[in-house]
Structure 1
Amino acid sequence: MTLYFLGGGNMAAAIIAGLRRAAYPHAVAVAERCADKRARLHAQFGVQTLESLPPQLHGDDVLVLAVKPQDMAEACAGVDTGGALVLSIAAGLPVSALSQMLGGTRRIVRIMPNTPAAVASGVSGLYAAEGASAHDRERADAVMRSCGECVWLDTEEQMHAITAVSGSGPAYVFYLLNALQQAAQTLGFSPEHAKMLSLATFRGAVDLAAQSSDDFAVLQQQVTSKGGTTHAALASLRRDDVAQAVTRAAHAAAHRSREMAQTAP
């Protein structure tokens, strides 16, 4: 049994790093057209690298589709899965489109990972097509749990929501981190200290929330004294409608995911 990656980009590398940390017991190979990427992946992880997939895979193999959605049809042209389990991490491409590109196979699990997978702190949403067995789900789960947590979805429609929340979510956090760093600099801190303060504040708040049984709103109240400094800051955020802006952003991401699914081949 071999776990093949079609595409050797950043997310593929993040998953491979997780597999290595978890001492994944099966062979891993990457099919990647770019020679520089092949050399880098082999040097970093010791995985077998290929310019293209073998002419035919086997039924006990796993194929991870890790190319960009707009390049998927071309990348899959001529691929013979041989009945292998297919895991797709391509945003917006539904099972129907993937099946069409791969000669009609329905043994497919769609996955929406996120970039913190690179440091084993990712979260992935997974949806199994009707052709995927319980054992296939277990195998997909084992791959993605090597780099974080997994959430199984009941319907393919939920892939749009998981894309909007956790798939795109790290970018929202980085946006807020950057905003807090910039605010710290306007208050007189050096860029280095502003970055350290922002990171430590986010990290500490997340750790506290993870270890507490209280809702986020309760934790917020515990930091806020009426008429105090935090109260003034939160009042400013409410005036600027920041919470609703985050909600609108997530809905915009979900809408774009649906558009991508509608334009898929």
Structure 2
Amino acid sequence: MTIQGTLLLVGGGKMGGALLEGWLARGVEASSVHVVEPGEEARKVLAAHGVNAVAAAEELPAELRPGVVILAVKPQVMDKVVPDYRRFVAPDTVFLSIAAGRTIASFEAILGSGAAVVRSIPNTPSAVGRGVTVLCANANVGAEQKDACDELLRGVGETGWVEDESLIDAVTAVSGSGPAYVFYMIECLAAAGIDAGLPEDLATRIASATVSGAGELARRSGEPAAQLRRNVTSPGGTTEAALNVLMADDGLEPLMRKAVAAAARRSRELAG
């Protein structure tokens, strides 16, 4: 990674820890990273990586001037946590949030209208380096700061940007919540296999392997999903018989549209 300067990670839990591991694996110097994590056991794990891990903001070095402050705590505690970091607001510092449901305006209300803020929505596959994160910046964020935030989140997967923050609700509904839809599909596929006579352990294993394998094929092939579907569908064959059900007027597509719309609506409600 080409990140220069000091990083301050607020929250060293599952997502924060995954981000840190991704950064270190891509060459970020551990000595340039400070982490605030109140959990003692989590702090020990973080310290083992060579970073400066402390329990509270007041334990950070007085001279610390981070280039990026990454806010990786739960959305419901942001109002309590973020004020401790107002002292870092400066033109050369950007605040990067990975909390769902927290708008840029909510951070500006705490940090001040002059703060450079980037809102992002990563998803849980980030924990294994296969996530996707979409970001949105306020007007105070410079080009180099955007590049820095993008590079940090590419440490755990792919990234994309939107200029209209209202699109974050749709992003949340598709990629943020999306892994849960896929996990449920695995459950349903396994259950259908059991109904068809397969042993439970075998049905569960091949359902999970089929979904993960198909996803990897989609990633590597570069072909559109529709073409990949056509490639595996023989006229009059078994796959076509199943797709006739899934692609019916009351099949998977309208159901998925309803699900994503419900998630996006709830995201807007949570953002206030």
Residue in 1 that maps onto 2:197 = 188
Residue in 2 that maps onto 1:35 = 40
Q: Which structure 1 residue ranges, 5 or more long, are not aligned?
A: none
Looking at structure 1, the residues matched to 44 and 188 of structure 2 have their Cα atoms a distance apart, in angstroms, of 37
Residue in 2 that maps onto 1:209 = 218
Looking at structure 2, the residues matched to 138 and 10 of structure 1 have their Cα atoms a distance apart, in angstroms, of 24
Residue in 1 that maps onto 2:133 = 124
Confirm or deny: 8 A CA contact 2:7 2:66 kept in the other structure: no
Confirm or deny: 8 A CA contact 2:11 2:72 kept in the other structure: yes
The Cα RMSD (Å) is 2.1
Confirm or deny: 8 A CA contact 1:121 1:147 kept in the other structure: yes
Q: 1:159 to 1:58 in 2, by over 3 A?
A: farther
Looking at structure 1, the residues matched to 237 and 84 of structure 2 have their Cα atoms a distance apart, in angstroms, of 65
Secondary structure, aligned partner of 1:196: helix
The residue type equivalent to 2:67 in the other structure is D
- Is 2:75 the partner of 1:66? no
Residue in 2 that maps onto 1:81 = 88
Secondary structure, aligned partner of 1:77: helix
Q: How does 1:153-232 map to 2 (within 5 A)?
A: 153-232=162-241
Q: How does 1:42-61 map to 2 (within 5 A)?
A: 42-43=47-48, 45-53=49-57, 54=60, 58-61=64-67
Q: Which structure 2 residue ranges, 5 or more long, are not aligned?
A: none
Looking at structure 1, the residues matched to 128 and 47 of structure 2 have their Cα atoms a distance apart, in angstroms, of 19
Confirm or deny: 8 A CA contact 2:89 2:111 kept in the other structure: no
TM value normalised by structure 1? 0.89
Identity %: 38
Equivalent residue pairs, number? 261
Of the structure 1 ranges 176-185 and 230-239, higher mean CA displacement relative to structure 2 is found in 230-239
Looking at structure 2, the residues matched to 247 and 203 of structure 1 have their Cα atoms a distance apart, in angstroms, of 22
Q: Give, in angstroms, the shift of residue 60 of structure 1.
A: 4.4
Looking at structure 1, the residues matched to 137 and 157 of structure 2 have their Cα atoms a distance apart, in angstroms, of 18
Residue in 2 that maps onto 1:136 = 145
Looking at structure 2, the residues matched to 114 and 203 of structure 1 have their Cα atoms a distance apart, in angstroms, of 16
The one of 116, 119, 128 equivalent to 1:107 is 116
TM value normalised by structure 2? 0.87
